[in-house]
Structure 1
Amino acid sequence: MDIHTADLCDQFESELRICAPMFRSYGGRAAFGGQITTLKLFEDNGLVRKALEAPGNGRVLVVDGGGSMRRALVGDQIAALAVKNGWAGIVVLRLHPRLGGDRRDGHRCLRARHASAEDGQTQ
């Protein structure tokens, strides 16, 4: 089942916002979706590893990197851990707090779809 961003905007206009297209894909999936778990940190990917050691159950980890570009937050080993533990995906934001990186408003950040094509369930 494919659900497109435009359809979700029409159906849930007052309940969501769409992120600007600022992402790069480094994984094997063109799109992913799921319940969002957030993590705010600064230059410490150990916290990302700790979060991904837990069962993902199809969730998406959204990491606020605090604006730093000096440290890698997700590499091949951490990405493999996410796959192993059933996470649907990882989104790393590196926005500087003055550019909106410190907002924690609970809005969903939708990328290309809100459903998993593999199981056909809306997440």
Structure 2
Amino acid sequence: MRHQRIEPPAILNGQEAAKSFFASCFDAGRDAQERLWVAHVDSSARCLHVECYDGQLESIELPVRNIIVDAAKLGSAGVVLAHNHPGGDATPSKADCAATRKLIRVSEAIDLTILDHLIFAGNDCTSMRRMGLL
């Protein structure tokens, strides 16, 4: 049996749209562990697929291989990443920056664009793209 979507796919065409899309994924101030969400989009920024990865109390490993495999299967043009910092500081850590740069390098091989990496902490949200880190 085939399933058909009733609602149109979300459009993640910029930081504000992505922030609104991911905000409900994080329980502001109540998440006890880091959690990473990855949204795969087509060339028109329509969301194709969303995947969630659970991390540890204060860290999460960026699953580069899984993201690339999913992107290849889905034919993704880009991905938007979002994860939380339960400690309350939405500033990207050195590990966040290094892992995102690694994903960018690997994604170039399949023409996948890393559109943004958002970090949520309580009611705050930081965009690595807006900070010039992508």
User: TM-score with structure 2 length normalisation?
Assistant: 0.39
Answer 1 or 2: which has greater strand percent.
2
Q: Which has the higher contact order (CA 8 A, sep 6+)?
A: 1
User: TM-score with structure 1 length normalisation?
Assistant: 0.41
